[in-house]
Amino acid sequence: MRKTVWITVLMLVTGLTAGAAGPGEDQVKDAEKAWGAALIAGDQAALGKILSDQIIYGHASGAVDTKKSYLDKLKAGSTKYEIVEWSDMTVKNVSNDTALVHGHIRMGGKTAGQPFDNKNMMLLHVWVKQGGRWQLAAHQTAVVSPPQR
């Protein structure tokens, strides 16, 4: 199932062409900012609204979470984010209710009390418009070393 989802995402990404910002792209950028702010604040209520119930949350470590398992980890305090910084971001609307976000991001904080600072991260997000608002349906990060720009 996960393989099918990622094949579909890759097909969508490779089929997109560069162009002017489409409808809703500013809203998706705002949703990205809200996601980062909620992570840093540890705001469970905000994240609960931002994350789709069907989210596939893939980490650079290879771990994959559901909405419940990810929120449970954050609630337990095993991971605390202090830095979520985009160095570049590309947003592409696939349709009126689906958007892709890709770029390089720095994420830092503490996991199990140990500091981490992932400076060379690439991120892919899939956003879907549900109930009139953008929700994060898929998250995947990968460590890029050295950074590819």
Q: What is the pLDDT of residue 32?
A: 96
Q: What is the pLDDT of residue 146?
A: 66
65 touches 59 (CB < 8 A) = yes
Alpha-carbon gap, residue 33 to 40, rounded angstroms: 11
Q: What pLDDT is stored for residue 16 in this prediction?
A: 41
The secondary structure of residue 11, as a DSSP letter, is H
Q: Is 148 helix (H, G, I), strand (E, B) or coil?
A: coil
Higher pLDDT, 143 or 19: 143
| DSSP-derived 3-state class of residue 33 | helix
* pLDDT at position 15 over 60: no
pLDDT of residue 1 exceeding 90: no
Question: What is the Cα Rg of the chain in Å?
Answer: 15
Spatial distance between the Cα atoms of 130 and 118, rounded to a whole number of angstroms:
31
Confidence of residue 29 (pLDDT cuts 50, 70, 90): very high
Domains along the sequence of the chain with CATH: 2-12+23-143 (3.10.450.50)
Q: Indicate the pLDDT class of residue 19, thresholds 50, 70 and 90.
A: very low
pLDDT digits (tens, 9 = 90+) for 66-117: 999 999 999 998 889 999 999 999 999 888 899 999 999 999 999 888 999 9
Q: What percent of the chain has pLDDT over 70?
A: 82
pTM of the model: 0.81
Identity of the amino acid at 114: Q
Percent of the chain predicted with pLDDT > 90 = 67
User: Band of the pLDDT at 22, cuts 50, 70, 90?
Assistant: low
- Whether residue 116 contacts residue 100, with contact meaning beta carbons closer than 8 Å, is answered with no
pLDDT at 147: 52
